[in-house]
Structure 1
Amino acid sequence: MAVLKDPVKLSIVQALACFDTPTQVADHVKQEFGLVITRQQVAMYDPTKASGHNLSKKLREIFTATRAKFLDDISTIPIAQQAYRLRVLQRNLERADSRGNAAMVSTLLEQAAKELGGAFTNKRELTGKDGQPLAVNSTNVTTTVTPEELKEVVQSVQAKF
Structure 2
Amino acid sequence: MRSILGLVVLVVSATLYLYLLTAFLPPGPRHERRDEEGKTIANEFGEVEMEEDRIHFPSDLEELRDLAALLNFYKNEHKAYVILLFCSAYLYKQSFAIPGSSFLNMLAGAIFGTRDGLLIACAMSTIGSTFCYLLSHNFGKKHVVRLFPDKVAMLQKL
- For normalisation by structure 2, the TM-score amounts to 0.28
Structure of higher CA gyration radius? 1
- Relative contact order (alpha carbons < 8 A, sep ≥ 6): 1 or 2 greater? 2
Larger fraction in helix: 2
> What is the TM-score normalised by the length of structure 1?
0.28
